[in-house]
Amino acid sequence: MTLLVAVLVVLMGVTARERERLGAVERTVAYALRPVEMAARSVVGAFQSAAFSVTEFRQLRAENETLKNDLVRLQYLEEQNRLLLDENNRLRTMLALRQSLPFTTVAASVIARSPDNWSNYLVVDKGAKDGIAVDMPVVTGVAAAAGQQAVVGSVVGRVAAVTDHTAQVRLLTDAASGVGAMLDGSKDAGVILGQGSSASGLVMNFFSRDASVVPGDVVVTSGLGGVFPAGLPIGVVESVSQTDFDLVRSAVVKPNADLNKIDFVLIIVSGHGGSAAGGNTAPPPK
């Protein structure tokens, strides 16, 4: 019994910190569980779809009418946008400016989530063989259609571990998560920290005790830290407080993305501050 406890203590000590790669045993377990997780998702999804169709029919009909009207309006705006884009491209060519695409993304489906209440992560169905590496930013959004860019939405988290065909995405709400952020208006910067559960939300600790922040302020990534590109939306300030003998100004932030209901994400594989070394990157500083 003593030997067993000693072995467990050593294992905990070795694996408590961030590791560049998962061990062979963990990768084997992840590989073995992948078909079960995907099957479970299909079964649960089918039941959820059936329940949704029964209870939400009336709401869907009203929403359908609204969306039809919106579609007509947006089609007009899209045509206007296309004309403007064509003109922009012509002008850039005339000025010999190189046209840059900000991000290259890989779309991934969520196949599993963390099984306990202390960690908040997703498992997606893309891995090292798809070009995914540790520390790549993960966002919501719409995958790129032919000839178009992907539409990048709000920050979800970052890639924390990778196997050949899956990746573990640490969500913003995870206690080990930290993201450089700033207010979109005043540009006051700070760090967004997860509180370990989606119920507890996010807390943003500002670098300055005199940060100008009020409920309703929009929070975006600051680009500091070298992982997330600047300007990606994170969430909205819900409340503000001053703690620790008035030295730390902090705010509770509600994330834009509903992290409990995400089925699909975009992983930014280039154009961001992280590296793409096939999973052998250094872990982020704590």
Partner 1 sequence: MSGMETWKYRWPDVVVFLACFLAQVAFVPLWGGVRLDLVLAVAVAVGMRQGPQAGGLTGLIGGLLLDLVRGRFIGAFALTHAVVGYMAGVAQAKLFENSLYLPFLFSFAGTVISELGFWALSAIWGTSLPLPAGMLALIGKEAFWNGLVSPFLYRLVRARLPAQPVGIGGRAL
Residue 260 makes contact with partner 1 by CB under 8 A: yes
State the nearest-atom distance from the C-beta of 107 to partner 1, in Å.
20
Closer residue to partner 1 (CB): 43 or 60 = 43
Q: Cα(31)–Cα(142) distance, rounded to whole angstroms?
A: 27
Q: Which residue has the tokens 């779309």?
A: 107
Task: Identify the bridge partners of residue 205 per DSSP, sorted by sequence position.
Answer: 191, 250
Residue from 22, 132, 159, 253 that binds partner 1 (CB under 8 A)? 22
H-state helical runs in the chain: 2-15, 24-55, 57-95
Residue from 143, 176, 240, 248 that binds partner 1 (CB under 8 A)? 176
Closer residue to partner 1 (CB): 86 or 258 = 258
Residue from 103, 105, 108, 119 that binds partner 1 (CB under 8 A)? 119
**Candidate segments 72-80, 82-90, 190-198, 242-250, binder of partner 1 by CB under 8 A:** 190-198
Residue 65 makes contact with partner 1 by CB under 8 A: no
Nearest Cα residue to 271 out of 144, 173, 183: 144
Contact in structure between 105 and 141 (CB atoms under 8 Å): yes
Nearest Cα residue to 33 out of 112, 114, 122: 112
Residue 205 makes contact with partner 1 by CB under 8 A: no
Residue 4 makes contact with partner 1 by CB under 8 A: yes
Residue 50 makes contact with partner 1 by CB under 8 A: no
Using CB under 8 A as the binding rule, the residues of this chain from 133 to 172 that contact partner 1 are 161, 168
State the nearest-atom distance from the C-beta of 86 to partner 1, in Å.
44
Contact in structure between 220 and 181 (CB atoms under 8 Å): yes
Residue 116 makes contact with partner 1 by CB under 8 A: yes
**Candidate segments 50-58, 195-203, 215-223, 229-237, binder of partner 1 by CB under 8 A:** 195-203
CA atoms within a 13 Å half-sphere pointing along the CA-CB vector of 118: 0
Contact in structure between 104 and 92 (CB atoms under 8 Å): no
Residue 67 makes contact with partner 1 by CB under 8 A: no
CA 216 to chain CA centroid, Å, is 21
Residue from 30, 124, 128, 234 that binds partner 1 (CB under 8 A)? 30
Closer residue to partner 1 (CB): 4 or 145 = 4
State the nearest-atom distance from the C-beta of 37 to partner 1, in Å.
5
Q: Cα(54)–Cα(63) distance, rounded to whole angstroms?
A: 16
Residue from 2, 3, 17, 147 that binds partner 1 (CB under 8 A)? 17
Neighbours of 186 (CB within 10 A): 12
Residue 3 makes contact with partner 1 by CB under 8 A: no
CA-based torsion, 213, 214, 217, 221: positive or negative:
positive
Rounded to the nearest 10 degrees, the angle between the axes of helix 57-95 and helix 24-55 is 120
Q: Cα(146)–Cα(123) distance, rounded to whole angstroms?
A: 27
Name the site residues for partner 1 (rule: CB under 8 A).
4-5, 7-19, 22, 25-26, 29-30, 33, 36-37, 39-41, 44, 112-119, 161, 168, 175-176, 195-197, 199-200, 260-261
